Structure 1
């Protein structure tokens, strides 16, 4: 008798599952139509899942997936692109963008590559979403920002990614921004700093953030004194990546900031074969568009609304 009841329940579970999953009927409507309680409907749906009558599959989009990603690649000549299907103002956007960047990086890096990582909020989110990497060496591309709200520095990011990849790492302990050119020159003479920054020339893939030149759009902008900030603005700078400043056409601009940075140089950044930017939000559009126009980045991870604005 128990087997008969089980078979009957399973057949009823099939009927309930078809109504709920295929026809979109609510549980209360199914209960009324079949003359059973809504609690039994819920139990039958659970039985359908447990018995394999219903199988739920979650399919993540490919790193390049989506028409917007393809359009961005075609329009701006990108080699890699991922568009997260959500607004840049969504509460969970940072985690989702970081996870998409981690997937895209995993799809891009191969054994034989050298991965370069600076500090940025978006790179932080990506590194903390990483689950696996090929066995590649990782090079730190910038010094640390002393006033960040994240619980990591550039050294922490490279170390964490290095543990995942297992291919070795090069790090140095120094701030990103020094008070003047003389202090920066002294720091660059340190062997660990000079050797690591020289190794930036070996980097084949870099993940970077793009800062918009304005309040809240760039961590570096917010750290600078007003005089230097205004001078850079007057030079037509619209954005920066790892401290490298560029104008609306993507041309590199030498500024009062240039000699104060402990980071790879602008030409080193330009020479990296694949530079993938992680950036989103309306305030970043002009900077991202300029970076693409100037060939400073070859890949992009962004959000749905940002992608539409870039294409518009």
Structure 2
């Protein structure tokens, strides 16, 4: 955001009044200018700045099938979610879910919030489709996966989101999973890592992915060896969010891999008031359900197929 887009307090009040009269009351720029003693060019500039600052948000809402809305309401009510959006099944479910997640994230965030984002494929898809966010700071919640199916790191995701939000960011450079607990502890002592993960305690809204503990269904599962995978499963973990493991009731599970992960703690995740997860893979529905049971996830964006799978499970 350039200096010409920054409004002082008086200009913000004037811009709000101009925007309200133009967009909500349908008054013309000429009439507003004449009534407020401004030039038409000044009115046009204030309207443009109101949009750039996030004071005004314009969206085109595509018609949604009533059956999809009903499905979303059923999942929301059954699972006690703050929000649930269902995207109709399509040929590009990841992109469609990512686009919807970005829209819902913008609605969940207010100017007082702090946004947190770990690495996830769903987070990448969401940022890829993101066009607007309120002016909030963004905090990185995990290190970067060494091998991912998309050309994007956690730092890249946070940087892109923060450029759109314009509220600053806290990032660090570190892998998501270290070879052992000692190496992970050494990385956590790095000032940038320590301070950024400490700032995870200030996060009020997080956008996360939920991984099921199975091949191809969790980034961390695919990064560790068979022995580590077996130990995590033996500990009772059915899924993870940024390396925070949980069982089928959504209770936090500490594993040998937990000590190797560079990410926020389970306690920090549990303390975030609003956690939005998106999912287009029906195979992850049981892990997603477990995360909701435990209160680790409070809002969802899913495909119709995933929504139907959630309705077949017990809260």
Query: Superposed, which structure 2 residues align to 1:135-150 within 5 Å?
Result: 135-150=135-150
1:68 aligned residue: 71
The 1:92/1:254 distance shift into structure 2, 3 A limit, reads same
**Matched residues in 2 for 1:114 and 1:209: separation?**
18
Contact 2:100/2:301, CA 8 A, preserved across alignment: yes
**Residue 186 of structure 2 corresponds to residue 180 of structure 1:** no
TM-score of the superposition, structure 2-length normalised? 0.78
1:84 corresponds, among 70, 82, 87, to 87
Q: What are the superposed Cα offsets for residues 221-280 of structure 1, whole Å, 9 maximum, x if unpaired? A: 011111110011122211111111111111111001111011000000000000011113
**Matched residues in 2 for 1:60 and 1:164: separation?**
26
2:165 aligned residue: 165
Query: Superposed, which structure 2 residues align to 1:192-207 within 5 Å?
Result: 192-207=192-207
**Matched residues in 1 for 2:249 and 2:136: separation?**
34
1:191 aligned residue: 191
Instruction: Give 1:60 deviation, angstroms.
Output: 4.2
Instruction: Give 1:71 deviation, angstroms.
Output: 1.1
1:13 aligned residue: none
**Matched residues in 2 for 1:160 and 1:59: separation?**
26
Query: Superposed, which structure 2 residues align to 1:38-117 within 5 Å?
Result: 59-61=62-64, 66-86=69-89, 90-117=90-117
Instruction: Give 1:311 deviation, angstroms.
Output: 0.6
Query: Superposed, which structure 2 residues align to 1:125-274 within 5 Å?
Result: 125-274=125-274
Report runs of 4+ in structure 1 exceeding 3 Å deviation: none
Contact 2:94/2:280, CA 8 A, preserved across alignment: no
**Matched residues in 2 for 1:180 and 1:60: separation?**
51
5+ residue gaps, structure 1, are: 1-56
**Matched residues in 2 for 1:108 and 1:167: separation?**
16
Instruction: Give 1:140 deviation, angstroms.
Output: 0.3
Query: Superposed, which structure 2 residues align to 1:271-290 within 5 Å?
Result: 271-290=271-290
SS in 2 for 1:128: helix
5+ residue gaps, structure 2, are: 1-59
**Matched residues in 2 for 1:236 and 1:195: separation?**
31
Q: Give the structure with higher Rg (CA).
A: 1
**Matched residues in 2 for 1:305 and 1:198: separation?**
37
